[in-house]
A = this chain, B = another copy of it.
């Protein structure tokens, strides 16, 4: 298969995993940058991620509009378009409402990495509040101006919380943005539980976060593949994941 074929196959698998791991429900979406046309990206038509199949994937342009496709797109496709525009280093983007990330969008204490699998968050997570610049909205990111403001809050980081709504995460590969998005709510729960017992939980140090990033320099290491295979098996699509070497060529 071509690299594009591999990526679209992985995008379907990623949809199923994110649903099965409770990161998304009927809402939330994942996209991947077009490997041959970096201004474009792929994402499902408006459909619950659990139900996404290969022919549900649509190509979008840099303005977040479908390229030759009349089917209903997700309202918030501009989150993806704006992050791909601002971040050439990013290949895959997730937007979701994972329940246990939401409390940190409502309070002053920042979400931050407290467990090793949460290191990919990168540090204290910014909270973007759409109300600050756009006043009273329906909280959805429905145009490029809003998407760009969110991307600005994300900055060079890998995740931004969205007050009263959810989060946007970004990484250099599909596997990595899935891993980040699966462990983000877990890190949030551990931090919440530690905080509630009193005292200030000990976060990962900057040096530790850097050491972890360095040790995962290849996106398709044995360790990362192990999780991909496990999550895909649980989501009922182990037959679709291919072999590690199909992915290795992409890193």
Contact = CB atoms under 8 A, between A and B. Distances in A.
Interface stretch (A4-12, A32-40, A60-68, A94-102): A94-102
Contact of A136 (B108, B165, B211): B211
Interface string A129-155: 001000111111000000000000000
Interface string A194-226: 111111011011111011101100000011001
Contact of A99 (B131, B140, B189, B223): B189
Contacts of A230: 25-26, 48, 50-51
A227 B26 contact: yes
A117 interface: yes
A235 interface: no
B202 A163 contact: yes
A241 interface: no
Nearest to A200: B107
Contacts of A108: 199
Given A138-B116, A205-B136, A48 B227 contact: yes
Interface residues of A, number: 66
A189 to B, nearest CB: 7
A103 interface: yes
A192 B197 contact: yes
B103 A197 contact: yes
Given A26-B227, A229-B51, A190 B117 contact: no
A230 B25 CA distance: 8
A202 B164 contact: yes
B226 A48 contact: yes
B208 A131 contact: yes
19 contacts: A26-B226, A27-B226, A27-B227, A46-B222, A46-B223, A51-B230, A97-B116, A106-B194, A107-B194, A107-B201, A107-B202, A116-B138, A131-B205, A136-B210, A137-B208, A139-B212, A164-B204, A164-B208, A192-B196
